[in-house]
Amino acid sequence: MSVKLHIKKGDMVYVNAGDNKGQQGKVLRVDVAKQRAVVEGVNMSKKATKPNAQNPQGGIIEQEAPIHISNLQVLDPKSGKATRVGRKAGANGKLVRYAKKSGEEIK
């Protein structure tokens, strides 16, 4: 059973809990089954890599780790602050997401 999430790829989000609380970033990808998202520059982890074509030296790289979506809030397009997300019928009858704080539609 798939769940409708309040966060999509490309959204600007605010981290409201955990070690990375207060950070903001763009969502790079969302794992719907695990309810986790990878956010640019947030929840960085170090990973040891073997030498390969991209990295002939090998070594330690830093990459983003997934973060649970309950710890993320979408940023209001108008004010740039964290907001809750609602859904309402848009102009063409499709459901569109909107920011509860300003009423602005989230693209």
Q: How confident is the model over 67-78, as pLDDT tens digits? A: 999 999 999 988
pTM: 0.82
The β-bridge partners of 62 are: 46
What are the residue boundaries of the structural domains of the chain, listed by start?
A: 12-50+62-99
Q: Which of 86, 75, 63 is nearest to 24 (CA)?
A: 75
Q: How confident is the model over 54-93, as pLDDT tens digits? A: 889 999 999 999 999 999 999 998 888 999 999 999 888 8
Q: Which CATH class is domain 12-50+62-99?
A: mainly beta
Question: Please, is 15 exposed, middle or buried when counting C-beta atoms within 10 Å of its C-beta (0-12, 13-18, 19+)?
Answer: buried
